[in-house]
Structure 1
Amino acid sequence: MDPKTRNAAIAAACIMFGFGFVAYWMPTLMLALGERSTLAAGIFAIVFVIGFFFVFWLRAKKQHEDDRS
């Protein structure tokens, strides 16, 4: 495994661990937010899902730029 591939795997694992940690606590967070506002709870869920894909999209874009150089 070359350093570039290893760094990409480590970054992906960190991202997955971070989002996995938040996803584990998601029901608790949603219930707490839902007590105050169901709209806030829904927005939180949408931002979480969009954020997950956005982070990997940014990584892919950065790697694609690095490959061109």
Structure 2
Amino acid sequence: MDRETRQTALATFLILGVFCVFLYFVPTIMLAVGKISPVLGALVVALVLLAPFVFFWLRSRSRNKN
């Protein structure tokens, strides 16, 4: 494992770790928003589930440009 691969793996691990901690609070957030509107609650969950894919896609585009 070279330096660049190690840094990429560490960054990915940290990003996923933060995301997993955030996922712990998603049910509470979803229920609070769902009291206002069930559609908004579903939208919040959809955004939370799409966020890591969008983040890693943007990160890969940024790294490929350099």
Q: Number of aligned residue pairs: give it.
A: 66
Q: Cα RMSD over matched residues?
A: 1.4
> Structure 2 stretches of 5 or more lacking a match?
none
Task: Give 5+ residue unaligned stretches, structure 1.
Answer: none
Give the structure-1-normalised TM-score. 0.79
Which residue does 1:32 correspond to in 2?
32
Partner of 2:61: 61
Q: State, as a whole percentage, how many aligned pairs show the same letter.
A: 32
CA distance in 2, matches of 1:57, 1:35: 32
**After TM superposition, where is structure 1 displaced by more than 3 Å over at least 4 residues in a row?**
none
Superposed, 1:1-69 pairs within 5 Å as 1-66=1-66
Quote the offset at 1:30 in angstroms.
Answer: 0.9
**Normalising to structure 2: TM-score of the pair?**
0.81
State the distance in 2 between where 1:7 and 1:59 align: 14
C-alpha distance after superposition, 1:10-64 (max 9, x if no partner): 1101110111111122111111111122122112111112211001101221232
